[in-house]
Amino acid sequence: MSGSIRASNLLHQWWIPSTKLPIGTGRRRSSRLPIGLISALEARLGLSLCLCQQLQTATGAVIDKSSKHEMVGAFQKLPMVMPSIDILSSAQRKARNVTPTKGIANIAKRERNRGAKQLDALMKELAVPLRVYTENFPNKRYLHPYESSLIELTFGEGNYEEVLGRVDALRKRLISVGKQHASLCAKSSSKREAEEQLSEGLKKLEEVFQLGKNAVDDLLNVAKTLRAMPVVDPQIPTLCLVGAPNVGKSSLVRILSTGKPEVCNYPFTTRGILMGHIIFNYERFQVTDTPGLLRRRYDDRNNLEKLTLAVLSHLPTAVLYVHDLSGECGTSPYDQFITYKEIRERFEDHLWLDVVSKCDLLEDSPANILEDDVAGRYKRFGPDGAIRVSIKNEVGVDELKNRVQDLLGSQMARLRAEKTQVES
């Protein structure tokens, strides 16, 4: 990240509410969006993410058997970063209050002593908080892979480390300049020279800090962003809604859980991982809504799509895969089929439930053509065993809830078995 500008732009983009998007409204019935338009939308939106935390859970253990429990939840333990302006003013105030060592009768000596001590104090007051930050912000290599992916997809590869590197470089420069000027002051031959050296040293330290202070403010923004990310407890069974953009994932999250993600008739309404909770028989489960997946190679996917894949890769979720066979969503059933096959194969070990959404639109849908191969059957019925749901007409909702409850029950049993295995 080249300095503060990139970081602050990034963080600013972050919160562009999707309601400001140029097309579509929730009331419009039809929006067949061609892939070209979807790409244009993406370009317009940038690849910024909006990670909203609707509900926080206690942090807990990790499914990855090689990881330690406390590895999840690192973002909630980040040190509080003070704005650079506050660090500077507090350091200057404290340094000014430093008095010479008692009992020095000689005026020149006393002034030398005072000057050197004040410069030393200013240097330390500026450098110590920076050391605390660089030592306590986690090294991405030791984070849980989910949190590590969040950092990478959020700030871009290497940018988190780059901000920390700039803070550390500032700390080192402050120490070097502070020591040099304190030493010059201590060597002054007169009271006047000591005063001049002190004033010169204070000015120089302030200059150095002013020059590098953006690094501290960037780190403050990084910390704010990371703390606001959703906390997922991998010990609690989690349902992850996956599917192409605009197929009705968020609508299903709204009826299944406490999560209230935005629902709109355009792709990539959901721009981050959203957490909700679902209670069955006094048992609490997590639900994550994710950004939609388009038919394309991994390298061509945007960071929103990669975020969805990171959840599936690194968290022990059961999948609720949503298919819109009406084509209303803007992605053709065939393209959904191709993406589905890829994701299903890639995450074959996940517990899984397929849902065909918007079934109120299916009867007269042009996608209802008879073809007898796998893709043809998919276009008519969705994957084998898929249940049909319409939020609009309230069809299949009870069955969906029952099947989700069963799925999460199985996920719970699986998590318990894995825990027992790890413990024994």
Ligand X SMILES: Nc1nc2c(ncn2[C@@H]2O[C@H](COP(=O)(O)OP(=O)(O)OP(=O)(O)O)[C@@H](O)[C@H]2O)c(=O)[nH]1
Name the residues that contact Mg ion, by CB under 5 A. 249-250, 269-270
Residues 387-406 that bind ligand X (CB under 6 A): 390-392
Span of 90-98, 112-120, 127-135, 357-365 interacting with ligand X by CB under 6 A: 357-365
Q: Is 26 in the site for ligand X (CB under 6 A)?
A: yes
- Which pair of tokens denotes residue 352? 């899984």
Task: Note the Cα 402 to chain centre separation in Å.
Answer: 31
Question: Which residue reads 């963080």 in tokens?
Answer: 11
User: Where is 317: in which H helix or E strand?
Assistant: strand 317-323
Which does residue 292 touch among Mg ion, ligand X, none (CB within 5 to 8 A, set by kind)? ligand X
- Sheet with 283-289: list strands edge to edge: 274-280, 283-289, 238-243, 317-323, 352-356, 387-388
Which does residue 275 touch among ligand X, Mg ion, none (CB within 5 to 8 A, set by kind)? none
Q: Is 246 in the site for ligand X (CB under 6 A)?
A: yes
Residue of the chain from 219, 361, 386, 415 that contacts ligand X (CB under 6 A): 361
Which does residue 357 touch among Mg ion, ligand X, none (CB within 5 to 8 A, set by kind)? ligand X
Residue of the chain from 14, 268, 337, 378 that contacts ligand X (CB under 6 A): 268
- Residue 283 — φ and ψ, nearest 5°? -100, 135
Strand, helix or coil at 354?
strand
Nearer to ligand X, 213 or 306 (CB): 306
How far is CA 100 from each of CA 83, 112, 183, 200, rounded to the nearest angstrom? Answer: 30, 9, 15, 18
Handedness of CA 330, 349, 69, 161 (dihedral sign): negative
Residues 82-121 that bind ligand X (CB under 6 A): none
Nearer to ligand X, 217 or 324 (CB): 324
Nearer to ligand X, 177 or 353 (CB): 353
Q: Report yes or no: 244 and 293 within 8 Å, Cβ to Cβ.
A: yes
Q: Is 288 in the site for ligand X (CB under 6 A)?
A: no
Residue of the chain from 360, 387, 405, 409 that contacts ligand X (CB under 6 A): 360
Q: Where are the beta strands (DSSP E) in 216-263?
A: 238-243
Nearer to Mg ion, 238 or 269 (CB): 269
- Which pair of tokens denotes residue 52? 């909203």
Which does residue 272 touch among Mg ion, ligand X, none (CB within 5 to 8 A, set by kind)? none
Strand, helix or coil at 218?
helix
Span of 81-89, 101-109, 180-188, 353-361 interacting with ligand X by CB under 6 A: 353-361
Residue of the chain from 73, 248, 330, 383 that contacts ligand X (CB under 6 A): 248
Nearer to ligand X, 219 or 353 (CB): 353
Q: Report yes or no: 333 and 379 within 8 Å, Cβ to Cβ.
A: yes
Residue of the chain from 259, 292, 316, 333 that contacts ligand X (CB under 6 A): 292
- For residue 216, which of 332, 130, 305, 109 has the smallest C-alpha distance? 130
Residue of the chain from 235, 357, 365, 411 that contacts ligand X (CB under 6 A): 357
Q: Where are the beta strands (DSSP E) in 109-231?
A: none
The site for ligand X (CB under 6 A) is made up of 26, 245-251, 263-265, 267-270, 292, 357-358, 360-361, 390-392
